[in-house]
Every structure is written in structure tokens, then in C-alpha cells.
Amino acid sequence: MSSLTTFFQYFTALLGAFLAALWLALIFWTYRDIRSRTQDRLVQILAALLAAVMGPFGVLIYLILRPRLTIDQEYQHTLEEEALLTEIEDESICPGCGGRTHADWQLCPTCHTHLRKDCDHCGRLIELSWQVCPYCGTPAEGVTAETLGPEI
């Protein structure tokens, strides 16, 4: 009978040690997880206290209430959005029909509006409003030296 009592004492001690280690691990995990999701120190401390006071139920509540994305994921999401916006802004729009055009198109394929013209000297495409070719420096067709001013 005494050996059975000793076995149950050891078993109870091991079970208690395991549960205490589990409790501490949950607190530590909660604190590390919330640190990756917010920089607010008060929220970090409150999340760890929630896990410390309520144990596994506190961690369950934390999992329900925690921010969905980590700080790194939010940063990556922001970079992706900025890249998409930059890509959209880089595409030009036809003044005639409002359709998207490319930088190397001379005419809009939808409404045939002239978007750019060839430089008379180097043959590269330049915008219609440009008075001088930025590639070779030649004045555009119909532009005189008096129109350009003393710079050229």
C-alpha cells in the first residue's frame, strides 16, 4: 500500500510540474506572439497577463482577439499595395478614350488618337507636347529657335 501511495505522489508531482511548465510555456508563447503583432507595450503586457491569470482559457481568448497579421506581414502587404499603385500610375491613359496605353505606343489601338510622335532626327518616340527631343536635343517639328528661347 505504501508503494502505491509513493507512486501516486510521484505521479502527482510530475503532473504538477508538467502543468506548471505548460502554463509558463503558454505565457511565454503568448508574449512572443503578441510582440510580433504589435509594438504597444501595454497590449503586450496585458496579453501575457491574460495567459498568466486564465491559463489555457486566456490563451484561447487571446487567439480570438489578437491582430490577424504580424508587423512583418503588414509591412509586406503595404509594400505590395505600393508596388501595385506605382505600376498603375506608370501606365499612361489615352486622352481620347481613357483606355490604358503603353509608353512605346504611337497611336491608341482603340480610338486611333495620336499619343506620341517620331523625332525627325533620331526617330525615337517623343510626347506630343515636347518641344525638344530629350534623346538627341533636336527641336520638334514646327518649333523654331525663337520659340525655344536662349537655352538652345
pLDDT tens digits for range 104-129: 888 888 898 888 888 888 888 888 88
* Per-residue pLDDT reduced to its tens digit, 14-68: 999 999 999 999 999 999 999 999 999 999 999 999 999 999 999 999 999 999 9
* Per-residue pLDDT reduced to its tens digit, 88-97: 766 678 888 8
Residue with cell 518641344: 131
